[in-house]
């Protein structure tokens, strides 16, 4: 770990940290005092950092015996009203899925960081975005969603981890930070400005001992016929509310763009470079970067697709987010996909090659359409 000085003055200055360290420090700045984890590359800087820092701020750090234990410790601390977090990487996040489903089913707030690596199975330790389905479609059993935030820089990692605690308390739901090995291990300048709202809102439902009040029960079991459906309807209402209010994205150069790239995290960094380089091409490239992967910016993408020539989704997977892009577009414009798998990271030149491959065809098709309309 970098030789870090933790004084407040130091933290408000710009520091060079890895994304993993920034996530850890941001959690501490956000008031998280209960961290449970299990080592796995490429998120080890995060657990290492927490082991030093949590005791300094009077918090709890436990190196759990497994990811399963870690997420269940999070479950306990969340149920008891504590601000709590765990982190891991792909195979470890798979192990946490049962616990995550229970957290969603018991409406408990917490933050989970997934620094994705290549899969399936043991895979490799380089950057990947192949856990997208698992992250945004549920992952564990049952009808539930996590709020999924995807940072594309070290500073944004810090900001989103901070916001994640607020969102998880506001909606009583686990929030997942979906990073990847590049975002986790990259070093960039970051600062941690002093922010308000470090404290959770009052948690009248938490387990604190029932002194002077009616007892609280934290559970997700509804054995009486009809009760579980009622509870699920309540969850779905909550998710609708989140979809209404919490969508975040960044749009770059999208006015009159011939091609719109859709990408998040590391692949969005590459696409940003493509947008810059495209100024030398004879067509315009724009980009939409979803920051919330769930709720997905589907209304915005749909609106843009009405005037767009075509959309190209770029991912470090065999094509997962592209399904949500297609669902958003509803056939209003063609959607293409470029992806690398198994730890492969697309180069900007590869993305440009793909653009050149799809654009003339599309423009030609469009000219035919215009001719048809003229008659």
Partner 1 sequence: MQAIYEKPKTFIDSATHFCPGCGHGIVLRLIAEILDSWGMRGKTIGLAPVGCAVLAYNYLDIDMCEAPHGRPPAVATGIKRVHPDKLVFAYQGDGDLAAIGMAEIIHAANRGENITFIFVNNAIYGMTNGQMAPTTLLGQKTATTLSGRNATNDGYPIRVCELLAVIEGSSFIERVSISSPEQVRKTKKALEKGFRTQIEKKGFSLVEILSSCPIYWRMDSNEAMRYIDEEMSRIFPLGVVKDWEAKK
Q: What does the binding site for partner 1 look like in residue numbers (CB under 8 A)?
A: 34, 36, 60, 62, 64-66, 68-70, 72-82, 84, 98-99, 102, 106, 207-212, 215-221, 223
Residue 287 contacts residue 254 (beta carbons within 8 Å): yes
Q: Shortest Cβ distance from residue 216 to partner 1 (Å)?
A: 5
Nearer to partner 1, 72 or 267 (CB): 72
Helix (H) or strand (E) holding 147: strand 147-149
CA gap 20, 1 in Å, rounded: 11
Residue 236 contacts residue 261 (beta carbons within 8 Å): no
Q: Shortest Cβ distance from residue 17 to partner 1 (Å)?
A: 27
Nearer to partner 1, 104 or 291 (CB): 104
Q: Shortest Cβ distance from residue 271 to partner 1 (Å)?
A: 40
Nearer to partner 1, 121 or 223 (CB): 223
Nearer to partner 1, 215 or 225 (CB): 215
Nearer to partner 1, 218 or 352 (CB): 218
Q: Shortest Cβ distance from residue 215 to partner 1 (Å)?
A: 5
Q: Shortest Cβ distance from residue 296 to partner 1 (Å)?
A: 29
CA gap 206, 216 in Å, rounded: 7
Residue 135 contacts residue 178 (beta carbons within 8 Å): yes
- Exposure b/e, 55-75, CB count within 10 A at least 16 = b: eeeebebbebeebbbbbbbbb
Q: Shortest Cβ distance from residue 33 to partner 1 (Å)?
A: 9
Residue 128 contacts residue 117 (beta carbons within 8 Å): yes
Q: Shortest Cβ distance from residue 202 to partner 1 (Å)?
A: 15
CA gap 288, 250 in Å, rounded: 6
Phi, psi of 338 (to 5 degrees): -130, 130
Q: Shortest Cβ distance from residue 39 to partner 1 (Å)?
A: 15
Nearer to partner 1, 69 or 235 (CB): 69
Residue 151 contacts residue 177 (beta carbons within 8 Å): yes
CA gap 296, 290 in Å, rounded: 7
Spatial neighbors of 227 by CB under 8 A, at least 6 apart, are none
Nearer to partner 1, 207 or 363 (CB): 207
Helix (H) or strand (E) holding 310: strand 310-315
Nearer to partner 1, 64 or 333 (CB): 64
């Amino acid at each position: 770990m970098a030789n870090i000085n933790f004084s407040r003055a130091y933290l408000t200055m710009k520091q060079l940290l890895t994304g993993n360290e920034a996530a850890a420090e941001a959690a501490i700045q956000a008031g998280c005092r209960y961290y449970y984890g299990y080592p796995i590359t490429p998120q080890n800087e995060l657990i290492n950092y927490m082991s030093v820092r949590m005791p300094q701020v009077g918090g709890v750090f436990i190196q759990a015996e497994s990811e399963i234990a870690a997420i269940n410790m999070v479950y306990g601390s969340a149920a008891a009203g504590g601000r709590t977090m765990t982190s891991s990487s792909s195979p470890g996040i798979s192990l946490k899925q049962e616990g995550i489903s229970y957290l969603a089913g018991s409406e408990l707030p917490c933050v989970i960081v997934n620094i994705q690596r290549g899969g399936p199975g043991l895979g490799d330790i380089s950057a990947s975005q192949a856990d997208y389905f698992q992250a945004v479609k549920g992952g564990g059993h049952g009808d539930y969603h996590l709020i999924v935030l995807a940072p594309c820089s070290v500073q944004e990692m810090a900001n989103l981890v901070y916001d994640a605690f607020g969102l998880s308390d506001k909606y009583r739901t686990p929030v997942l930070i979906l990073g990847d090995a590049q975002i986790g291990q990259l070093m960039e300048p970051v600062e941690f400005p002093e922010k308000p709202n470090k404290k959770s809102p009052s948690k009248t439902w938490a387990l604190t001992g029932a002194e002077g009040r009616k007892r609280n029960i934290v559970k997700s079991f509804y054995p009486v016929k009809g009760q579980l459906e009622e509870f699920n309807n309540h969850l779905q209402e909550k998710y609708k509310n989140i979809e209404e209010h919490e969508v975040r994205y960044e749009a770059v150069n999208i006015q009159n763009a011939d091609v719109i790239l859709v990408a998040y995290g590391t692949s969005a960094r590459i696409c940003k470079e493509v947008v810059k380089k495209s100024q030398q091409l004879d067509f315009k490239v724009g980009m939409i970067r979803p920051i919330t992967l769930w709720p997905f910016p589907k209304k915005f993408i749909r609106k843009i697709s009405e005037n767009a020539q075509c959309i190209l989704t770029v991912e470090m997977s065999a094509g997962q987010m592209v399904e949500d892009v297609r669902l958003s577009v509803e056939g209003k414009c063609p959607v293409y996909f470029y992806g690398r798998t198994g730890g492969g990271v697309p180069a900007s030149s590869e993305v440009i090659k793909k653009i050149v491959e799809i654009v003339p065809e599309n423009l030609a098709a469009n000219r035919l359409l215009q001719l048809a309309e003229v008659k």
